[in-house]
Structure 1
Amino acid sequence: MGTPGPALAAIAVCLSALAIRAWGAEFHISPRGADRNPGTRARPFATLERARDAVRESKTRAPLPAGGITVWLHAGAYRLERSFQLTDEDSGSAEAPIAYRAAEGETVRIVGGPVVPPGAFAPVTDVGVLARLDPGARPQVLQADLKALGLTDFGAEWPAKFRGYAGWPELFVDSRPMTLARWPNEGYARVAKVVDPGSKPRWGEAPDRGGTFQYDGDRPARWAQADNGYLNGHWAFQWFDECLKVAKIDPEAKTIAFTAPHVYGLGTGFVGEFFALNLLEELDSPGEYFLDRTTGALYLWPPEPLEGREIGLSLLADPLLALNGTEWVTLQGLTLEFARGHAVTVTGGHDNRLVGCTIRNIATDAIRIDGGTNNGVRACDLYNMGGGGISLSGGDRATLTPCGNYAENNHLHHFGRLFRAHRDAINLNGVGCRASHNLIHDAPHHAMDFGGNEHLIEYNEIHHVCLESDDAGAIYTGRNWTVRGTVIRHNYFHAVGGGSGVGNQAVYLDDTACGTVCVGNVVRDVYRAFLIGGGRDNILRDNVMVNCPIPLHIDNRGMGGEWLEGQEVYHKLRNDLKEVPYQGELWRARYPDLADILEVENGLPAGNVIERNLMFRCGQMNVAQEAREHSMFEANWETNDDPGFVDAAHEDFALRPDAEAFGRIPGLEAIPFGRIGLVVDEYRRALPAATPWIEPQSGGFVGEVEVTLGCRTPGAIIRYTLDGTGPAQAAARYTGPIRLADTTTVRAVAFGPGDHPESRSGTASAVYRVLKLGPGEGVYLSDLAPADAFVHGGLKKDGNYTGEPIRIAGRQFAKGLSTHPETTDRGGRATVEYALERGLAAARRFQAWVGIDDSAQNAGSCTFLVEVERNGQWEKVFESDILRGGQPAAEIDVDITGALRLRLTTTDAGDNIYSDHAEWADARLE
């Protein structure tokens, strides 16, 4: 017999290297390895492709060993120039799975772009470029020649309009995303006036015509010579963003014209807000960059000296990892970043898993699972996505066959970095997906969106989402009668952005959405807890709402407008019915109320069940008369007294066994509040602690103030600073109250039991300012933290209900409180209470000017009441007549000597709360 050829010899070497362990077999790869190596720990491969091929070779020679095959990735960065693809031939089995896994205790990064050496950056010397830069930026900005480094893929030319991202290379310093040069550096500028809305493609207007608007100030004049300027913004509604190319800037008229129309036309819903981007002229702060696509020059104002930093550039537009038709493949412990496209896609197949991974710095959506069964993401951390987090779909709607795809125990935060609307942490479509035990926070728009049928959304904590949006929801669905059967249960929503107009909600069943079940959720400090937009057959049961101005809204929108015959929504709803066999035997059995929907008065908000819900310190439900007549409302309890929470002040909303609520609401099911959120499992070994609380809130004080810190995570270790810096793990440990006598910024973080770095919480901050109280030196209430406040839309300080300066009958005030009444069982009212402790006990008089703000446009009517507590008894010291919009402000100057507490009450004067923009202008203690 002859000598084996090179190919057979290579296979033989690999197979001899296929070490058999108790858990199966293994290969090893390392950035410092070589693909000619046999793939052992001592002599690892260098690339994922070589390891994949070795696994394939082993499968052709013999059945997979019991326990499967593990490809161990060792520490370092694996820089991909093309997508790493796995197909059905790379599958494992239940008894012999295939795993690509980070070696224990080692940091493994899979990245979609190269490093730009720090030494490639030098000061800018080009006179023309320096002239375009802001004078303060000229000595700070550095320049690198990417073409000289062999980097020329700068993405396609930007189109005239796009949503969120147009494929440009992103820049990262030590895995922190830099910001494409923009103005303003944070937030939005307001459109001053719409000159021409342009055409409105959404409603079929043609031909296309870009709009024109007028701006305030002079800053945009600096961009007049830029040839590739864009403005991103909310141009018509704060739930839809679009980036538009600038056609012309007229500094004289202070107008900007676009080359293409906004889809809804400028100013259709509200006047608009925007920020400019991709302008060298606006590279004016640390962390901003600009890429000249023509010359390949990369300009950066470094956030810190670049020496020793990793400067990464995203180039790969295809997914970093793509699984197509695979079975029983696990990706574990990997960090994936720097991609223009997705991090991971899973298409078809079954029982594929991402576990214990970190996915960050992705320009679009991180993970897409499309089809297949039992594919999922578990115990992963996802953040700094330009788009959303995890998209799940699968199953068969015709047969209502579930897919079982899931997102479980993941921490998703700071997403929507580029796409400012409609990119969710988790999106569920198809049939039978599951999102459970996830922690979701810090995003401009929704946390979750679902379509399809019979998903399960449970045990998630969601907070600080919808931060830039209006008319949005933490969880959203809408405008499809066939989307039914989803259960939303045992979730905790809090601190959802309030919205600047219509307002936001925790659960938004929009535009006649039907058949959703919301059970046992806790909603705190959300403008509306639940909104049913004219829909039918929804169930709200055993939910707890806390400090929600509107705990439930049900309207009758389906009875008119776009729902009328011949209108857009009318046709969409009926076309959606054609997509599923809604009158077939299976669907009729599952959704009997849907089968005959065209035979009934389907615009009625009928068949909803609202029962056994607890509302604590909320306003009244806002329910259309048709909903009250055709839906069921039973055993719901509204109270301003503690219903029996374990510790509501510090976010423990479990009900004690002896809670009054159980007696008031027969059959109320206790919510397993302690089980909500992330959990420890084999892939998530420590939990981030809850963000600590700081009491009192930020505000001024007279004399001294005692500050206390706490955390709802049992056994948490709290560390703090008093100089405004971010607390490190070595910062002072909190052991008891902190007394302050000087102006101080307190910042605090918490670590879970064991003080593990990965258990670090978010940072809480409070600023305390020294105030003086004495003859001629008063203290404004808006500079103090109230002891308690109950106000429609929340207490507004130093501005009116809409955020503008306070004006009463044309008189403007710089300071004051805005206290719009809320609907209650005692009529419309708002209350704000202050503790007159320590130095504030010396106050002798309370002074203010009260009336209705001019923003109410001569509407609104209120009364104003001042009460003080002395010796344990409340007494009235002032009550106004009814004050109406347009009337001059009334003066208050009353003696409060010896008062321990001060309470300000606004009522709706006995009619209703509409346009009751009540102001306590210049409210102060003397």
Structure 2
Amino acid sequence: MKFKILFFLLSTLISQISAAQEVVFYVSSRGNDKASGRSARDAFATLKQAQIAVRTEKIKGYPKTGFKVWIRGGEYELKEPLVFGPEDSGTEQMPVIYQAMPGERVRISGGEKITGWKKTQNGLWKTTLPKEKAGQWYFHQIWVNGQNRRRAHTPNTGFYTVKGFPDGGAEVSYDKGSQRFEFGKGDIDPNWTNLNDVEAIVYHFWTDSHLRVQSVDETADIVTFKHKTGKRFTDDYTKDGARYIIENVFEALDAPGEWYLNRVTGVLSYMPMPGEDMTKAEVIAPVIPQLMVLNGDPISQQYVEHLHFKNIRFEHTNFILPDGDVNNNQGSAGVSAAFKLKGVRNSSFENCRINNIGNFAFDLDKGCSYNLFSGNRLTRLAAGGFRINGGNAESPPLERTGFNEFRNNVISHFGEIYPSAVGILLMHTNGNLISHNLIHHGFYTGISVGWSWGYQPSVSRDNIVEFNHIHDIGQGLLSDMGAIYTLGLSPGTVIRNNLIHDVESHGYGGWGIYMDEGTSHLLVENNVVYNTKFAAFNIHYSKEITVRNNIFALSRLSLLSRSVSEPHKSVFFTNNIMYWTEGMLFDGDWTDKAYPFYLTPADRKRPKELADTFDMDYNIFFNPGMPVDSVEFGKQDLLQWRARGKDVHSVYTDPLFEDAAKFNFRLKAGSPAFKVGFKQIEMQNVGPASR
């Protein structure tokens, strides 16, 4: 009897211990999908098999604290995306975690290694791809030893320029669809190999148009494309022609690192970089368009939940614009993503590396909420880093996307194929936290918030953009961009404690913080912005935004700008420091105009008439090489400016930075800025936290 009781107690204890432990599976590149997967020595070969095993264990229904899939170091080539549905979910107490083994390097690739290279007499290396010849595979990128290599293009440096506008130039609206332009003599050759595979990439306004050649009239020097672009072929709003390059030209295969793929013969030709031995080099071309799909159904409330990925490296996706799509969307918003999430909640990607991707890295679509993206490194991206978009103001509430966190990530060298892409693109979404990220070397915008133009209803609100370090944005390629860009009604949105510098546009634009069409009811505070081509702070048109306690410094052409004066308050601008050594202090329209306004319902019958379209006071202005009498404040001197009620209590004096020449904008003790209410901005915690 005592033995039976002891056995019962021991069995109960073992059951309790087992119930308190995770169910663990292992995956190894040397594994076998017929193995048990229960140990590192008996590991599965694929993540797909581990996913099936987790599903099978969940069906058994006994209590657990969660599932862990350990992935051993090695390379895993995907032939199709990994697809996770609601049936793959965990719970808060029992999450499902896929994680690289500590200290081991896991690479999951959507590409295929290319071998069989043979050296030809002209110094090129060639190999034949049967799937390409059969029309089963086509790609726009290859990577050699981990480095992106460009398709053969002309010119090798710089750009060609459009010479004429048969579909209309400066005399038509900027958004006039255009399908033809006149080129310079000899810039485009109708005898190029596979002419209809040749592609022009035109850089105009804030977009990059990707245009397949349909025909070339050598007599008139007119090229006609297969599809229209959404804008005229001018250099922004000027009368000059836009810049362009021509890609995928076999006859232009003349520089190390260039390649050409002949879709008819299936032959891939490559001119190696100095020292590259193609018999030993790792050459990868992308195959699949997505690496992972997390697919829930928010309308039926069938979510993917509590699914987590940690310490995994993902590479290589293949994206080609669909026929008819020339990438006319702002922010390259139509480009797909390597990771597609829909109806996903309480899930995460942490400390992953997303590298050499042919599209956006992540796309959070409808019904994605309370997810975490932390400590990830996103580099060498054809498009952008994160795109977050859900239902708009007219959509069912269950399709709304919001309350996601993006913190401590690095997003660098993005927009390498689609340069108008954005580092973090917040579209129809609310309540997100964008914090402590490092975003650099993009060609358009670092962080974009909002997707409703003008003062129409918007769900974009309560987004927090804070403690991010954003630099080297624009790089002189496109126009009309900012390090941080906003659109539409944004109540509760806050942009604070960000460090922004080195923003360079091609033409106009190149702003630090850019409040575009209809930006309303947001707060901009405690930011440091310097070294921008145009204004450190720019308003297109806005309503009742608050801008306080910022440092705007060392812009080249102007420091503050506003494009439109409207019959309402556009901005409350107080306790800021403006420091410049060249260019204008104010640019654009800073005039006031009378408009009716009532403060209470009692004023409805006889509204008051107001004239102030902005409030500005308690600021510090200083140009060390210019006396205040020489400074124009909105095309007026300081006395005239103050007569309008502007900057009555502001001071023109040296703010006493520690070392402005070295971009140290910390204030010394005794700074006069403290007397007008300015508070010291601490920058040491900006950017990703130490890992």
Pick the TM interval, shorter chain.
Answer: 0.7 to 0.9
- Which whole-Å CA distance do the structure 2 matches of 1:656 and 1:204 have between them? 50
Of 293, 309, 318, 2:281 maps to 309
**Cα–Cα, structure 1 residues 249 and 402, in superposed 2: closer, same or farther, change >3 Å?**
closer
| C-alpha deviation, 1:200, in angstroms | 11
Distance 2:391 2:208 in 1: 31
Deviations 1:887-916 (A, max 9, x none): xxxxxxxxxxxxxxxxxxxxxxxxxxxxxx
Moved more, 385-394 or 69-78: 385-394
CA shift, 1:350, in A, is 1.4
2:673 alignment counterpart: 661
Amino acid across the alignment from 1:539: T
Show the counterpart of 1:145: 128
Question: Is residue 500 of structure 2 the alignment partner of residue 508 of structure 1?
Answer: no
The residue number in structure 1 matching 2:339 is: 344
Aligned to 2:503: 496
Retained in 2: the 8 A contact 1:20–1:26?
no
Map Cα deviations across residues 193-234 of structure 1 (whole Å, 9 max, x no partner): 4354399998997xx873221315x34347556422544344
Alpha-carbon distance between aligned partners in 2 of 1:505 and 1:204, rounded to the nearest angstrom:
22
CA deviations on 1:806-855 (whole Å, 9 max, x unpaired) are xxxxxxxxxxxxxxxxxxxxxxxxxxxxxxxxxxxxxxxxxxxxxxxxxx
275 and 144 in structure 1: CA distance in 2 versus 1, 3 angstrom threshold: same
Offset at residue 101 of structure 1 (A): 0.5
**SS of corresponding position for 1:34:** coil
1:616 corresponds to which residue? 579
Of 118, 137, 154, the match for 2:137: 154
1:95 counterpart letter in structure 2: Q
1:762 counterpart residue number: none
Q: Structure 1's 23 and 469: CA in aligned 2 closer, same or farther, altered over 3 A?
A: farther
Equivalent residue number for residue 486 of structure 1: 493
Alpha-carbon distance in structure 2 between the residues aligned to 1:354 and 1:200: 49
Q: 1:229 to 1:149 in 2, by over 3 A?
A: closer
Q: Alpha-carbon deviations, 1:595-644, whole Å to 9, x = none? A: xxxxxxxx425242011110122541234212782221011111135523
Residue among 623, 648, 655 paired with 1:643: 655
Is the Cα–Cα contact under 8 Å of residues 197 and 212 in structure 1 kept in the other structure?
no
Alpha carbons of 1:198 and 1:144: their partners in 2 closer, same or farther (altered >3 Å)?
farther
Q: 1:259 to 1:112 in 2, by over 3 A?
A: closer
**Which of 372, 376, 381 is the aligned partner of 1:376?**
372
TM-score, length-scaled by structure 1: 0.59
Distance 1:437 1:366 in 2: 19
Between the aligned partners of 2:548 and 2:497, the Cα distance in structure 1 is 11
Question: In structure 1, the residue corresponding to 2:434 is in which secondary structure?
Answer: strand
Give the structure, 1 or 2, with the largest relative contact order (CA under 8 Å, sep 6 or more).
2
Q: Which amino acid aligns with 1:181?
A: A
Matches of 2:559 and 2:20, distance apart in 1: 56
Shift of 1:252: 5.4
| CA distance in structure 2 between the aligned counterparts of 1:82 and 1:264, rounded to whole angstroms | 36
**1:214 aligns to what?**
183
SS in 2 for 1:89: helix
Q: Tell me how far 1:402 sits from its aligned partner.
A: 7.7
Identify which range, 666-675 or 146-155, moves more after superposition: 146-155
Superposed, 1:681-696 pairs within 5 Å as 685=691
- Aligned Cα RMSD in Å? 3.0
Q: Secondary structure at the match of 1:629?
A: coil
Q: Which residue of 2 aligns with 1:545?
A: 552
**Per-residue CA distance 1:722-756 (angstroms, 9 max, x = gap):** xxxxxxxxxxxxxxxxxxxxxxxxxxxxxxxxxxx
Does the alignment pair 1:263 with 2:275?
no
1:475 aligns with 2:470: no
- Give per-residue Cα distances to partners, 1:273-329, cap 9 Å, x unaligned: 000011111111122111111221111112321233221111102343435332111
Shift of 1:511: 2.7
Code of the residue aligned with 2:514 in structure 1: it is Y
- Rounded Cα–Cα distance in structure 2 between residues aligned with 1:484 and 1:647: 36
1:811 alignment counterpart: none
Indicate the residue corresponding to 2:304 in structure 1: 326
Which 5+ residue runs of structure 2 have no aligned equivalent?
A: 1-13, 297-302, 320-336, 451-459, 594-610, 625-653
Paired residues, number: 582
Candidates 165, 170, 195, aligned match of 1:194: 165
Could you tell me how far 1:42 is from its partner in structure 2? 1.2
1:354 aligns with one of 340, 346, 349: 349
Q: What amino acid does structure 2 have at the position aligned with 1:659? A: S
After superposition, the Cα gap between the structure-2 partners of 1:373 and 1:262, relative to the gap in structure 1 and judged at 3 Å, is closer
In the other structure, the counterpart of 1:228 is 196
**TM-aligned CA distance change 1:305 to 1:494, over 3 Å:** same
State the SS of the aligned residue for 2:268: strand
Give the drift of 1:190: 2.0
1:172 aligned counterpart, secondary structure: strand
User: In the TM superposition, what whole-angstrom CA distance separates every residue of 1:372-400 from its partner, at most 9, and x where no partner exists?
Assistant: 32112111110111111111235885889
Q: Which of the numbers 67, 75, 78 marks the counterpart of 1:69?
A: 67
Which whole-Å deviations, capped at 9, do the CAs of 1:410-442 have from their partners, x for residues lacking one?
Answer: 110111111121444443531111211111111
**Secondary structure at the residue paired with 1:82?**
coil
Amino acid at match of 2:405: Y
Structure 2 contact 491–521 (Cα < 8 Å) conserved = yes
Does 2:149 correspond to 1:178?
yes
- Whether 2:62 is the aligned partner of 1:50: answer no
1:185 Cα deviation from its structure 2 partner: 2.6
Deviation per residue, 1:93-143 (Å, 9 max, x gap): 2222111001111111111122112xx01134xxxxxxxxxxxxx622111
Q: Distance in 1 between matches of 2:36 and 2:247?
A: 50
- Supply the distance in 2 between the matched residues of 1:223 and 1:626 (Cα, whole angstroms): 60
Matches within 5 A, 1:69-468: 69-117=67-115, 120-124=116-120, 139-147=122-130, 153-155=136-138, 168-197=139-168, 210-215=179-184, 218-221=186-189, 224=192, 226-234=194-202, 237-251=204-218, 253-267=220-234, 269-270=237-238, 271-303=241-273, 304-324=276-296, 325-341=303-319, 342-370=337-365, 371-394=367-390, 403-451=402-450, 452-467=460-475, 468=477
**Structure 1 residues 147 and 470, CA, compared in 2 at 3 Å: closer, same or farther?**
same
How much has 1:509 moved relative to structure 2? Answer: 1.3
Letter in 2 for 1:624: W
Matched-pair contact (CA < 8 Å) for 1:233–1:272:
no
Report the Cα offset of residue 651 of structure 1. 3.4
Could you tell me which runs of 5 or more consecutive residues in structure 1 were left unpaired when the two chains were aligned: 1-15, 125-137, 156-167, 558-602, 686-926
In structure 2, the CA distance between the partners of 1:262 and 1:530, relative to structure 1 (3 Å rule), is: same
**Cα distance in 2 between the residues matched to 1:23 and 1:287:** 52
**Distance 1:461-1:368 versus aligned 2 partners, 3 A rule:** same
Correspondence 1:548-587 to 2 at 5 A = 548=555, 549-556=557-564
Q: Aligned partners of 1:54, 1:624: CA distance in 2, in Å? A: 65
Indicate the residue corresponding to 1:629 in structure 2: 612
Following superposition, the deviation at residue 172 of structure 1 comes to 1.3
Relative to structure 1, the CA distance from residue 605 to residue 310 in structure 2 (aligned partners, 3 Å threshold; closer, same or farther) is: farther
Partner SS, residue 684 of structure 2:
helix
Distance in 2 between residues matched to 1:149 and 1:261, nearest whole Å: 27
Contact 2:190 2:215 in 1 (8 A): no
Paired residue secondary structure (1:447): strand
Q: Quick one: distance in 1 between partners of 2:504 and 2:169?
A: 30
SS at match of 1:261: strand
Q: Residues 672 and 209 from structure 1, CA distance in 2 versus in 1: closer, same or farther, beyond 3 angstroms?
A: closer
Does the Cα contact within 8 Å between 2:132 and 2:266 map onto a contact in 1? no
Residues in 2 aligned to 1:353 and 1:660: alpha-carbon distance in whole angstroms: 46
Q: For 2:619 and 2:170, how far apart are their aligned partners in 1?
A: 48
Matched residues in 1 for 2:198 and 2:444: separation? 22
Q: Equivalents in 2 of 1:326, 1:334: separation in Å?
A: 20
Give me the TM-score of the superposition, normalised by structure 2.
0.78
AA partner of residue 459 (structure 1): F
User: Paired residue for 1:606, among 569, 572, 576?
Assistant: 569
- Checking the alignment, whether the CA contact within 8 Å between 2:67 and 2:96 is kept in structure 1 is yes
